[in-house]
């Protein structure tokens, strides 16, 4: 194991749920699969990790090792066995060369957030703090202050708790602002387009005089959080679960409920039950938004147990898949019963006054999962890109193909597609380059792939010109419900290609510089991009 280098910065648990992050790489071979293996007296439980996330600090610490950059991992999931009976925890996996590995975690890891710190867990935390101080001093000496901030957030994020609120305290706070209406919004805390949408929604409700209660879930601390916002108040509370919301609604009935998304909530099956109970209490207006496919399947990107778009097969195949599916946050639904999942969410959907989808393809998938759904309550309302200033962008270099990819490209966003595309370019000994404007959860040859890292939205047009990208690929392997990225690139007037999945093809088929790719193999994708570049820039 001498060629493995790794650290676990945080690994915490509460009841049956575990969250952790860190980094791991092997000097000679990429990590193909990484999981946390929990051992019990009579069985084991594995929680798959998302590996391949960029860690520039690790790259700086190990400058001679190419695989150090994409060594970051995050793991989050549920285990049906009582974690209090755990006898050991290991990081296990397989290298790309086929070799298996197992790395034993120290005593006191994972740490139980519901129990006082033990001597072993205190030693673990001191060890992590010491490593953070050492790494922080190195970053200060190198002038890498932004990286230091990122590292501090990684380490301290789990500690960011809010005061515990009582029902009476929240009621008093709400009534003190004499709101015109009381609105409950249910939303995750993961960032991205769904959070942008809910932030604008909350701001608009407040502008109209409402008090907004936002129920969210803080993954770092494995706890429910309630945010109270109005013209006069802005409070955050840690609460003990969804029952708190029911107690609140019995005293101050809600006027509206907006379900934005519950992706990442522990015990996610409680959310449709909460919605149904709240409807019975005061019959508030209920709007349910389809930002992803969580209401259809615990694997909210509709990726099956093989990591591919499932196409929503018949119920029996769904159950077989869900039994072993580790995609996204599927393991948080401990019952792993598709019939139960669809029954719970189907009941909530049947109570909705309005169901909003953001593309026709999303609506079709919704009706396929729930064929008895009243479609008269379903509206298709595409997003607008008001948060982005759309302007024509002239590519600075068009003589040969320079592929652009925009976003935080994790597995479901097409990291594997980008990696295989880079390998195909190398195989052909081509001078084609790829520029990722954002992040990429995959190791690629830097001679072919450049990665800018995170950037401010307003900087994207300038970055495109500076890096010479001229033809863009949207490589997502899941059926996107909309895609702000595709809308933005079309607004820039740039050529864009996407896989034939979800909402993006609806717009790109009618876009003069668009291309929809039926064949997802690297060779076919590259040929299509070469043709698109030639058609847009080199044809007379």
pLDDT in tens, 412-454: 999 999 999 999 999 999 999 999 999 999 999 999 999 999 9
pLDDT (0 to 100) of residue 389: 64
Spatial neighbors of 397 by CB under 8 A, at least 6 apart, are 468, 470
Six token digits for residue 352: 């909705």
Compute φ and ψ for 224, nearest 5 degrees: -75, 145
pLDDT (0 to 100) of residue 133: 47
Other Cβ atoms closer than 10 A to 30? 18
C-alpha separations of 35 from 31, 101, 299, 323 in Å: 11, 11, 17, 17
In this structure, the strands spanning 31-39 and 256-259 are: unpaired
Residues of the chain with pLDDT under 70: 117-162, 385-389, 540
Six token digits for residue 101: 């590995």
Closest among 416, 443, 435, 451 to 521, alpha carbons compared: 416
Closest among 126, 256, 119, 120 to 186, alpha carbons compared: 256
CA atoms within 13 A on the CB side of 285: 8
Report the C-alpha gap between 164 and 161 in whole angstroms.
9
Relative orientation angle of helices 522-533 and 415-427, to the nearest 10 degrees:
80
Closest among 196, 231, 238 to 216, alpha carbons compared: 238
Q: Which residue's entry shows tokens 């409070």?
A: 235
């Amino acid at each position: 194991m001498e060629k493995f280098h790794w650290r676990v910065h945080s690994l915490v648990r509460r009841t049956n749920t575990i969250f952790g992050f860190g980094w791991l790489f092997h000097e000679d071979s990429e990590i193909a699969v990484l999981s946390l293996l929990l051992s019990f007296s009579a069985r084991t439980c594995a929680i798959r990790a998302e590996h391949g996330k960029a860690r520039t600090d690790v790259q700086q610490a190990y400058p001679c090792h190419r695989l150090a950059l994409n060594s970051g991992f995050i793991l989050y999931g549920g285990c049906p066995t009582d974690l209090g009976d755990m006898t050991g925890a290991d990081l296990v996996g397989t290298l790309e060369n086929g070799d298996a590995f197992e790395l034993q975690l120290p005593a006191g890891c994972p740490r139980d957030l519901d129990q006082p710190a033990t001597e072993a867990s205190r030693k673990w935390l001191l060890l992590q703090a010491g490593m953070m101080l050492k790494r922080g001093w190195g970053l200060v000496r190198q002038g890498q202050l932004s990286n230091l901030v990122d590292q501090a957030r990684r380490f301290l994020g789990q500690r960011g708790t809010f005061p515990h609120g009582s029902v009476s305290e929240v009621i008093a706070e709400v009534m003190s602002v004499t709101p015109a209406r009381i609105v409950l919004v249910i939303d995750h805390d993961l960032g991205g387009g769904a959070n942008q949408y809910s932030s604008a929604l909350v701001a608009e409700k407040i502008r109209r005089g409402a008090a907004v209660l936002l129920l969210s879930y803080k993954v770092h601390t494995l706890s429910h959080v309630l945010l109270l916002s109005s013209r006069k108040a802005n409070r955050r509370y840690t609460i003990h679960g969804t029952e708190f919301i029911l107690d609140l609604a019995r005293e101050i009935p809600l006027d509206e409920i907006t379900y934005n998304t519950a992706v990442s909530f522990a015990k996610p099956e409680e959310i449709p039950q909460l919605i149904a109970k709240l409807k019975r209490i005061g019959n508030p207006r209920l709007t349910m938004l389809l930002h992803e496919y969580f209401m259809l399947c615990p694997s909210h990107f509709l990726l099956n147990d093989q990591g591919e778009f499932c196409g929503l097969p018949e119920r029996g195949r769904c159950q077989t898949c869900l039994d072993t599916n580790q995609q996204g946050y599927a393991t948080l639904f401990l019952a792993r019963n598709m019939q139960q999942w669809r029954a719970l969410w189907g009941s909530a959907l049947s109570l909705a006054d309005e169901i909003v989808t953001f593309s026709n393809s999303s609506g079709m998938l919704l009706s396929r999962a729930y064929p008895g759904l009243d479609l008269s309550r379903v509206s298709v309302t595409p997003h607008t890109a008001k948060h982005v200033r759309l302007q024509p962008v002239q590519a600075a270099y068009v003589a040969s193909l320079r592929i652009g990819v925009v976003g935080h490209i994790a597995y479901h966003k097409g990291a594997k597609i980008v990696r295989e595309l880079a390998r195909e370019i190398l195989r052909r000994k081509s001078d084609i380059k790829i520029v990722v404007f954002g992040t990429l959860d995959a190791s690629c040859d830097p001679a072919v792939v450049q990665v800018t890292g995170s950037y401010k939205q307003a900087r994207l047009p300038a970055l495109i010109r500076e890096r010479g990208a001229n033809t863009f690929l949207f490589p997502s392997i899941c059926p996107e419900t909309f895609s702000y990225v595709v809308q933005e690139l079309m607004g820039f007037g740039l050529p864009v290609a996407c896989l034939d999945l979800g909402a993006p093809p609806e717009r790109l088929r009618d876009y003069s510089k668009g291309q929809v790719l039926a064949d997802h193999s690297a060779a076919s994708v590259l040929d299509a991009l070469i043709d698109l570049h030639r058609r847009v820039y080199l044809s007379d």
